[in-house]
Structure 1
């Protein structure tokens, strides 16, 4: 009994450690709920939803991007799961279309988090961890049928080009700057991605 009491009184153990874990979990849960609701995700809003002060939230997560990255972890389907409907399809154009549609719709459903992550990483990229590479995994999986047949340099260039159009930035360009509705924006991203893929795979004479 004495040993148990001594351990509980030591800093960083027992109740204090459990409280820190509960606080961290509450902050992550609040961020996840804001993302699921499609609301703007800011540190003040997260702190308010988690019933903690903003200063407390920053003690656990040094910036919004690090919080969002951890809150997003494990929430998205794997590329194979996301593209399950084209699992038996070998046509890379059709697979890329599915990847583009999935990414665009995911961005539109999670606009608050997507915009917050873009803002955080664009304004101070040196201070935040890398953004989740959802698009890269989707692109790699979509192009898997031609990974061993397409010239390595051409494949790499295609992936780079696709990463520009299969992106949150492309979606927001279409909705914010060009004033397209959600369905038109999704269709625009899919058209651009499939056009790039067809051109890259076009036989050379």
Structure 2
């Protein structure tokens, strides 16, 4: 029988994580609304609109500049249906998604570095159990596209593919290719799209190979007629 205490603990942890995501999103939505009203919001104004305290807001963002940078990225992100629709080739779609997301981030590299600095500061300044979750915007594209491969990839393979794709899309990915690999903006965008497509193709190739091996094993095990 499953351990009830363990199950309850996991449920509580998931509930806290979801609440943290809702709080972060409430702050972003509040900042978006204020900016759409033509205002340059302060932290106090954003917190008041989001119905949280300033102390809570500072637990999620280290500065108002970081919050504003996040709202800019949120506003610029195209909806999923603009990069992927059911029936599209997942490998092509993930390349489009990587290109769109990484281009948004690289269009404002100062804001990108401000956001990343804020993520690190929040991580260091909060205790482990109270650290807010990262926004995970890339997963809004990755999960639906990878889930479309459910007939080709088993659950474990889809999970690994999603995890691998998270490394080539998003802020850390573009910072690495720009600041460490020395790529130009265009090269960074192209590299991310290429890597994302290559990961999907590799996962599908491995799944095909595994199916062929299973088929060969079954044939070998069948009695000759």
- TM-score using structure 1 length: 0.63
Structure 2 unpaired stretches of 5+: 1-26, 48-52, 213-225
**In structure 2, C-alpha distance between the alignment counterparts of 1:171 and 1:179, rounded to whole Å:** 11
**In structure 1, C-alpha distance between the alignment counterparts of 2:136 and 2:201, rounded to whole Å:** 24
In the superposition, relative to structure 1, how do residues 65 and 201 fare at CA in structure 2: closer, same or farther (>3 Å)? Answer: farther
Structure 1 unpaired stretches of 5+: 1-23, 34-48
In the superposition, relative to structure 1, how do residues 123 and 74 fare at CA in structure 2: closer, same or farther (>3 Å)? Answer: closer
1:66 positional shift: 7.8
Does 2:166 align with 1:163? yes
**In structure 2, C-alpha distance between the alignment counterparts of 1:184 and 1:73, rounded to whole Å:** 20
Match of 1:177 among 180, 186, 198: 180
1:76 positional shift: 4.5
**In structure 2, C-alpha distance between the alignment counterparts of 1:141 and 1:95, rounded to whole Å:** 10
Structure 2 residue aligned with 1:39: none
Structure 1 residue aligned with 2:104: 106
1:103 positional shift: 1.2
**In structure 2, C-alpha distance between the alignment counterparts of 1:195 and 1:96, rounded to whole Å:** 10
Does 2:91 align with 1:93? yes
For residues 86-114 of structure 1, what are the alpha-carbon distances to aligned partners after superposition, in whole Å with 9 as ceiling and x for unaligned? 42653211111111111111111233333
**In structure 1, C-alpha distance between the alignment counterparts of 2:103 and 2:162, rounded to whole Å:** 20
**In structure 1, C-alpha distance between the alignment counterparts of 2:74 and 2:95, rounded to whole Å:** 24
How do residues 104-143 of structure 1 correspond to structure 2 at under 5 angstroms? 104-125=102-123, 127=126, 128-143=131-146
Structure 1 residue aligned with 2:200: 197
**In structure 2, C-alpha distance between the alignment counterparts of 1:141 and 1:66, rounded to whole Å:** 32
